[in-house]
Chain A
Amino acid sequence: MRGTLQRVQTWAERRLPALTRYRRLESLPIELHRRRIYIVPTGFGIGFSLLLLVMMVGALNYANNAALLLTCLLGAASAASMLVAFRSLDGLRLSHVRAGHAVAGQPIELMLEFDSHRGRSAIRVDVGHDSTAFAIDAGGSTQVKIALPTVRRGWQPLPRLRLWSSWPLGLFRAWSWLYPEQSVLVWPQPETAGPPPHAAADDARHMRLHQGDELAALRDYRAGDPQRHIAWKASARHTNLLVKDFEQPQSRPQWQLDWRQLHGLDHEARIARLARWLGEAQSQRHNYSLWLPGNEIASGNGPLHYARCMSALACMP
């Protein structure tokens, strides 16, 4: 059933360009307009109209005008709900799309920001088979988080998003396709296991422990503590001696991650290894620099640095 539908859809896209006209890439913001909103009755809508037909024939047959009036009222209300469904999409605006970070294979989090002058309810965004519902207050905006599956590293265009709603009664379904001209960067997937960077050994001198000179806390005296570290004034107020404890800065070995040092590996394997090293360096709080062909990133650390390095890796040809 789903396969057939998909085939029909593909055929329609090929044969009926009018339907697909708005499926070209568009730049943000995208405002929904009547010419790109489609509306059909849902299965429930068709069933309900059949029921209305039965009710009408029954009322006519028994010449029961009150029942006929009731049926007409329900029918007219159903028809009016079609316009309400249309109106719940008309004028809706997708203003921004923000993407999070994810490595290939992991879903990437997209933040879609919609705004509208009118309040709207029960609007749904479909990405692939994932559906998320949201509502907007009048004049406000809503951020909708959706997860987009990723496959490979690099720039990945956003897929077509389907906005749809069966508000208010579920009898009609209005929908519109959005195809924002925006791509998200997917980081490369690190290899699962491999050797540590051998450059680490060269930097043994950076791993020398030394005492810092910033006062961090007071602690109890232990045998062997230098006398000059004893906090005499503070100790006078206590029964035992207190010693000034100086912060010991983390040993920050410099990792120089270099594309050129990875011989004997193919292109993607090099990227995967560098990605793993970047991850390890980041989690072990090393300073690290990255050399890539055509791109050299100086030593540094922190999430921004990590993101910069990963993005550079992701953009490798």
Chain B
Amino acid sequence: MHAMTPPPRKSRVASVVDTRAFDLLSLTIAFVLGLHAMHLPWWLGIALALILGWRWWQRRQRTGRVPRWFKLPLLVLLVLAVIAHYGSIFGRAPGVALAVGLLILKLLETESTRDVRVGISFACFALMAALLFDQGLVATLVVALGLLPALATLRALEPAQAPATLQRTLLPGLGLLLSALPLALLAFLLVPRLSSPLWGAPSPNEARTGLSESMSPSGFTDLLTDDRPAMRVSFDGAPPPANLRYFRAYVMWNYDGSSWSYADVVNRAPAELKAIGIVGYRISMEPTHQHVLPMLDMPLGAPTGATLRADRVVMADKAVNDPLTYTAQSAIQYRLQPELGVRARNLGLSLPVGFNPRTLALGQQWRQRYGSDDAAIVQAALTLFHDGGFRYTLAPAPLGHDAMDDFLFNTREGFCEHYSSAFTVLMRDAGIPARVVTGYQGGYWSKYGNYLLVRYSDAHAWSEVWLAERGWVRVDPTAAVRPQRVSLGAAAAADGQLPWYESRWLQSLRNHWDIVNRWWGQGVIGFDTLRQHGLLTPFGIRDVDTATLGVLLAISSMLFIAIGLAWALLRRQVGDPLRAALHELERKLARKGIVRRPSEGPQHYLSRAARALPGQRDELATLMRCYLELRYAHDEPPPESLRDFRRTVRDFRVVRVVK
């Protein structure tokens, strides 16, 4: 009659993941791939995307791992491709390319719950790695968005759930992340930062950005069209007027006929400076992978971790590979190096032999005409630029062997670099010591954020000439051609020459948006050891050391755990409404001195109450009857009768009995 075979013992919790979990995993991995697509070589990105899509399609047709003979060659190909493109598998970019590739290959063999979990962990790691390339606000938010499909995948692995909709899939993960946010922020604030890296910090192998140590005609063009933020400056007090916002980076003495270059002179003392108007300010600069720290003209000293070089150029001890914030003071009116030594004077007059004969002739002609009046010669040059038919353009015609002759007498078009270069050469030809200074000029003043946003496109080059008794004087020949460049900024100067995506209204929108970036940069990215140690200054603790931070972290984590536990243990009291109603009645009666004795049942008690309150005997008798019926006549009291009973109890008033 009964078969003796044991029942099927197969667990109903399947170990092969269902399509939904696999789809979500594929989505997560596709998201990771999308994030990294920009850092990968394009052919690798496309190949990986194809493999991902194919595997997704194949798994929909039939479950099962991809055979080994298919996977192994792909793995070898991946490693070879990475080595071929980057030359190594170590380092940030090749490492990330390898990690993303391995993640996609992991999908090929993903079948079980365990595989999916490993894949999700790996995907979380790859998500984090995306932040090594860009840790801006938008990038971080996008990466955090990638956690949603990852969490949804982990949820989808659990058996027996309510049927899934898009909201039920993604929203709980969002809720979890949001509820975890306070604890996350706290941990972020209090996790002790490393004062020095445990292993080598990433090598700055990406292209250098910002100003370079040499300036050749049209070498600036890339910079002038790069409108990423270079630095943000906030001033103590009012900002200096627009025409004084010159930020000095490099001072260039050496000219070889085609380009100017900076030579670092370490052991010379900074030139003497007599400051008149002093401005204090704070600069948060983006990483440039260079040493130079731009300072408002003319810096009084170097911030900590940097030195002031001979020409009042400030060099950081370490290359700026991470966002850096420093404070400094500068004199906006000054007298620099009133006495010029012979060596410096010769350096300021030296020119390569055999270049630019017509420029030389012009300089010598001016010297003869104005005699020893250097200021008049400077003015003559500026007049030439202003009235000589010169044009400001970011796309000038190329220059020949005698570049300055070509520029001054043929093309007559160019931008700051051409003008400062030509001006300096002219001055040297006329016997006035002169040099080229590069840096930034202008910037966007954010009224709401109270800071000056300086972009790479605000890069500028100007000249300094040495005049007797006045020292080095800043002369901006570009301003003679295009005054807007100095008063309104680079974008205004290049008006009409910018592509649509850099049009003015878009630029203004981006200028306003930058305030969020600044907040992010200062509050999150720039939160370093120093800031962390000053965290408790408002509470009177000047310097928080690592041990204190650890204790604080432990204490506040406990606090959060307590809050979380309180939530977890919270249970809505689902009491018995009938009993609650009787309690209410008892309270009302007790106020009149009719207290229920511990040994007393409801019937006895209410009868006693009816005897004590003869005026309300009928009411109390009805209440008693109702209660007894509700309590003892049913398993579950009918809801309508229960509601009636509760209402009657609520409306019941004990009438004072006059004895």
Interface residues of A (CB under 8 A from B): 34, 44, 47-48, 51, 54-77, 79-81, 83-84, 86-87, 90-91, 103, 105-107, 117, 119, 121-124, 129-135, 137, 147, 149, 165-171, 189-190, 279, 283
Contact = CB atoms under 8 A, between A and B. Distances in A.
22 contacts: A51-B121, A54-B125, A55-B125, A63-B194, A64-B131, A66-B525, A67-B132, A70-B147, A77-B176, A79-B183, A80-B179, A81-B176, A103-B2, A117-B572, A119-B162, A134-B160, A168-B172, A168-B176, A169-B154, A170-B113, A190-B1, A283-B1
B241 to A, nearest CB: 35
B12 A131 contact: yes
Contacts of B131: 59, 64, 66-67, 70
Interface of B: 1-2, 4, 6-7, 9, 11-13, 113-114, 117, 121, 124-125, 127-128, 131-132, 135-136, 139-140, 143-144, 147, 151, 154-155, 157-162, 172, 176-177, 179-185, 187-188, 191, 193-194, 197-199, 201-202, 322, 524-528, 561, 564-565, 567-569, 571-572, 574
B12 A72 contact: no
Nearest to A283: B1
B121 A72 contact: no
Contacts, number: 186
Contacts of A79: 180, 183, 561, 564
B245 to A, nearest CB: 29
Given A66-B140, A87-B568, A60 B177 contact: no
Contacts of A72: 183-185, 187-188, 191
B144 A121 contact: no
A59 to B, nearest CB: 7
A45 B348 CA distance: 68
B59 to A, nearest CB: 21
Given A66-B131, A91-B571, A76 B13 contact: no
Nearest to A280: B1
Given A58-B128, A121-B160, A83 B568 contact: yes
Given A121-B158, A170-B117, A129 B184 contact: no
B188 A133 contact: no
In this complex, the member of A73, A76, A133, A165 whose beta carbon has the largest number of chain B beta carbons within 10 angstroms is A76
The 8 closest A-B pairs by CB, nearest first: A66-B135, A76-B180, A133-B159, A122-B158, A133-B160, A76-B183, A76-B184, A77-B180
A179 B240 CA distance: 80
B495 to A, nearest CB: 36
B416 to A, nearest CB: 35
B184 A121 contact: no
A73 B177 contact: yes
A65 B158 contact: no
A69 B197 contact: no
B627 to A, nearest CB: 25
A66 B180 contact: no
Nearest to B8: A147
Contacts of A55: 124-125, 128
A57 B9 CA distance: 45
Contacts of A129: 9
A96 to B, nearest CB: 14
Nearest to A165: B158
A36 B4 CA distance: 38
B140 A61 contact: no
A167 to B, nearest CB: 5
Contacts of B124: 51, 55, 74
B525 A107 contact: no
Nearest to B120: A48
Given A55-B125, A62-B132, A168 B162 contact: no
Contact of B565 (A48, A81, A83): A83
Nearest to A56: B191
